[in-house]
Amino acid sequence: MTHEHKPRFNFRLYDVSLRALCLVVRVIREIARHDANLGDQGMRAATSWHLNIAEGMDAPGKTRILRYRTALGSVNETIAVCDIGEALGYVKITAEEADAVQHVRATLLNLVRPKH
């Protein structure tokens, strides 16, 4: 299930992140049917990554990097929740869902990597 939305910001990662969030929510809701605590943790992590991207996009220098690092941690946590849900047989993650979240992760990695 995907949701259409109008771009609210002129920042591509924001839109990529929101699309990935819409896709991964299906997985998290299915996990929650089997394990409410794990589902809650996954939903908090998934929404946190997007909120931190939004906070960071107009923040100055070090604050921006800090927000993106926090978002990256939340993306990693979301991936772990989904992996646990799949390992326990609660859900099957589609390639589209996995790719969308990995796209956000890769972009965040590039944004927080030190520039030399």
- Token match 């796209």: residue? 103
CA distance 48 to 98: 18
Q: What is the pLDDT of residue 115?
A: 76
| Inside any domain, residue 47 | yes
- Domain membership of residue 2 (yes or no) is no
pLDDT 10s digits, 4-21: 556 565 678 999 999 999
Count H helices and E strands in the chain, helices first.
Answer: 4, 0
Is 7 part of a structural domain of the chain?
Answer: no
- Domain region containing 32: 12-112
**Considering its fold, how many domains does the chain have in total?**
1
Kindly state whether residue 1 falls inside one of the protein's structural domains.
no
Tokens of 89: 């047989």
State pLDDT tens for residues 85-102: 999 999 999 999 999 999
Q: Which CATH number covers residue 63?
A: 1.20.1440.60
